[in-house]
Amino acid sequence: MASSFSHKAVPALDVFKPDLFHGKVVLVTGGGSGICYHITETLMRLGCKAAIVGRKADRLREAAEQLARDTGSEAIATPGDVRKFEAMEQVVKQTIDKFGKIDFVICGAAGNFMAPLEGLSSNAFRTVLEIDLVGTYNTVRATMAEVKRTHGTYLHISATLHYSGLPWQAAPSAAKAGVDALSNVICVELGPFGVRSNCIAPGFIAGTEGASRLVPKGSDDMVKAFIPAQRIGERTDIANAAVFLFSEAANWITGQVIAVDGGQMHFRSAWLPYPQSSLDPRSFKNLFPDLRL
């Protein structure tokens, strides 16, 4: 029997004051699409100016133009590959040349290959770590001097995958565990300079690449049944958490990983076909017939 109650996602502007981030500048890797695009849009609606980072320059410029049109704030496209430190140095220079400073940094660039361990190549594993973990390090290292100067804040988009073993998720699990650990070091090393660093770990978020891979079509009710909050998350939920963590209301919160998943991490293993998913990979593929490998 399904619960008849669930909270609804509330837009940030219904909760936070419209000029909360007036005069602030955010740099966002992975900001051209998905969750990080929505976070960027929300921050801009609250007064932020933004520089979004990605590898596909044309798509990135279109995203920046759309963000500016929709929010009335300023956004620029700063193409770059987070795997290359020199590229991130150039991104930082372009952002400061345009806006004069960087207050907030969101490390959201990510990659994933869904495969069992025996089917995951060393190159695929390395690629995910280079984008997620090395990319986060390069972004932090390139922005560090400026963020120390502005007493700014880092926010890393992590995951709940590594809180327990999840089949076919070795690469992102290892990468995101590293991101969490890196954020802890940033907290300790840069805290005395007035810098904070936190992670958000999203659960299933509707309309994202991750949800399209992991939630079988037509199975929303099944998935909701294993989420204590009784609904699949929305990008608004992640954006609201980001707004709070960047705000002064969170100025004594640092070195934390905030799971924004409706409580799902506490109940996740119940809906996975185990041990069938390990003994017979076809059972996992049958559960997710639209899985793109």
As annotated, the active-site residues are 158, 176
Q: Are 105 and 153 in contact (CB under 8 A)?
A: yes
CA-angle at 78, arms to 109 and 157, nearest 5°: 20
Q: Give the integer Cα–Cα distance in Å for 16 and 33.
A: 23
Q: Could you give the maximum distance between any two Cα atoms of the chain, in Å?
A: 57
Quickly list DSSP for 167-207.
TTBHHHHHHHHHHHHHHHHHHHHHGGGT-EEEEEEE--BTT
Name the DSSP letter for residue 75. E
Q: Which residues of 212-236 are buried (b: 16+ CB within 10 A; e: fewer)?
A: ebbbeeeeeeebbebbebbbbbbbb
HSE-up (13 A, CA, CB side) for residue 106: 34
- Which residue, among 19, 25, 20, has the nearest Cα to 150 in the 3D structure? 25
Name the DSSP letter for residue 260. E
